């Protein structure tokens, strides 16, 4: 009897060791999966660096991806990321860049190169050279614009190319959702194509009519849709200096515009001063940052309706 009990105890002890070993093996495998590159049970984190990229990425990816746009005051093109923002980017699965000089701080930080997606690399030959004099953006201080124009998404054919680059990389993050991602992307491109057609029609309606842009951020819009514009460096939230007001009649003599397109609603005093010179004001926001209300789609619809309702006559042809 004692011998049988001893044998039984031995079997129980051996069984316990096996159970512990199996649990230990399972925990070790789980720990390896959690710390490895496999993300099948986690929501991928995608960091975007302006609002058009955030809109396109979130639209394409849908709910399976967490898409982040940092809290940026002012124009994201002149943002300098904080140490916390860099740390968050380093932990993300994908960092979506606009490119074309939009992120000049990129060379000064360390980010995982295999997680960077420059959405405008594929059409580098279509970048527009820019540059210009140093000027002020209020609290953002004095600066000069980049060597290239960077509001690429205002040419909706280029925005479509950017969205395609996003689709390809997001599909790599979520291979099990490839069909959904493709469907979302096609719906987005239908919207981009519709905006492209409306702007092309507006370009035809405006023809060679001279217009003014309050700031040199509309280069891709001008080139794609054929607007005949000249750019100033006027800020919507401040009155232009007296010297610039004094220089405006000479510019209007050379480029007889009856319309100025603004990034945001200008001061009433500025609007009245322009009216006195025969120039009306209309807002077409580049939508670089998250709007106070609405979203990218509603904002772009408002932009198009503003332009559609403001096709100006040539000077000397009114009435």
Helices (H), the chain: 2-35, 51-61, 83-91, 156-173, 178-206, 219-225, 242-254, 268-276, 296-308
Nearest of 30, 146, 47 to residue 89 by alpha carbon: 47
Residue 135, strand partner residues: 143
**Confidence at residue 39, expressed as pLDDT on a 0 to 100 scale:** 41
User: Do 45-133+143-187 and 205-308 share a fold?
Assistant: yes
**Confidence at residue 146, expressed as pLDDT on a 0 to 100 scale:** 61
319 residues of the chain, pLDDT tens digit each? 444 444 444 433 333 433 333 333 333 322 222 222 334 448 999 999 999 999 999 999 999 999 999 999 999 999 999 999 999 999 999 999 999 999 999 999 999 999 999 999 999 999 999 864 444 444 444 444 469 999 999 999 999 999 999 999 999 999 999 999 999 999 999 999 999 999 999 999 999 999 999 999 999 999 999 999 999 999 999 999 999 999 999 999 999 999 999 999 999 999 999 999 999 999 999 999 999 999 999 999 999 999 999 987 655 444 4
Q: Give the whole-angstrom CA distance, residue 208 versus residue 84.
A: 48
**Confidence at residue 131, expressed as pLDDT on a 0 to 100 scale:** 65
**Confidence at residue 23, expressed as pLDDT on a 0 to 100 scale:** 35
CA distances from 310 to 197, 235, 254, 282 (A): 18, 21, 21, 7
CA distances from 6 to 10, 17, 77, 145, 188 (A): 6, 17, 77, 86, 73
- What homologous superfamily does CATH list for 205-308? Nitrogenase molybdenum iron protein domain (3.40.50.1980)
**Confidence at residue 30, expressed as pLDDT on a 0 to 100 scale:** 28
- Cβ-contact 73, 81 below 8 angstroms: no
Q: CATH for 45-133+143-187?
A: 3.40.50.1980
Paired tokens of 1: 């009897």
Domain boundaries, the chain: 45-133+143-187, 205-308
**Confidence at residue 1, expressed as pLDDT on a 0 to 100 scale:** 44
Q: Give the whole-angstrom CA distance, residue 134 versus residue 289.
A: 23
Prediction pTM value: 0.82
Using CB atoms within 10 Å of the CB of residue 57, give its burial: 0 to 12 exposed, 13 to 18 middle, 19+ buried: buried
Nearest of 47, 71, 49, 50 to residue 61 by alpha carbon: 47
């Amino acid at each position: 009897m004692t011998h049988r009990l001893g044998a039984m105890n031995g079997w129980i002890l051996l069984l316990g060791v096996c159970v512990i070993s199996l649990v230990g093996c399972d925990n070790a495998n789980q720990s390896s999966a959690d710390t490895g590159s496999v993300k099948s049970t986690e929501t991928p984190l995608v960091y975007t660096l302006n609002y058009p990229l955030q809109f396109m990425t979130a639209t394409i990816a849908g709910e399976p991806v967490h898409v982040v746009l940092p809290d940026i005051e002012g124009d994201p093109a002149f943002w300098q990321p904080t140490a916390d923002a860099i740390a968050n980017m380093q932990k993300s699965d994908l960092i979506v860049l606009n490119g074309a000089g939009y992120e000049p701080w990129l060379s000064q930080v360390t980010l995982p190169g295999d997680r960077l997606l420059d959405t405008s690399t594929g059409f580098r030959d279509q970048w527009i050279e820019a540059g210009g004099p140093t000027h002020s953006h209020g609290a953002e201080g004095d600066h000069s614009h980049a060597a290239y124009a960077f509001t690429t998404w205002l040419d909706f054919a280029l925005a479509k190319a950017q969205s395609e680059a996003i689709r390809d990389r997001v599909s790599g993050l979520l291979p099990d959702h490839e069909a959904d991602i493709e469907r979302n992307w096609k719906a987005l491109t239908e919207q981009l194509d519709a905006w492209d057609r409306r702007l092309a029609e507006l370009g035809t309606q405006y023809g060679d009519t001279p217009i003014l842009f309050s700031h040199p951020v509309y280069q891709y819009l001008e080139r794609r849709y054929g607007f005949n514009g000249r750019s100033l460096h006027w800020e919507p939230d401040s009155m232009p200096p007296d010297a610039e007001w004094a220089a405006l009649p000479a510019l209007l003599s050379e480029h007889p515009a009856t319309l100025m397109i603004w990034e945001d609603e200008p001061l009433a005093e500025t609007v009245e001063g322009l009216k006195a010179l025969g120039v009306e004001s209309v807002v077409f926001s580049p939508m670089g940052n998250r709007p106070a209300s609405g979203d990218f789609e509603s904002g772009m619809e408002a932009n198009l309706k503003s332009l559609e309702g403001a096709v100006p006559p040539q000077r000397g042809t009114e009435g």
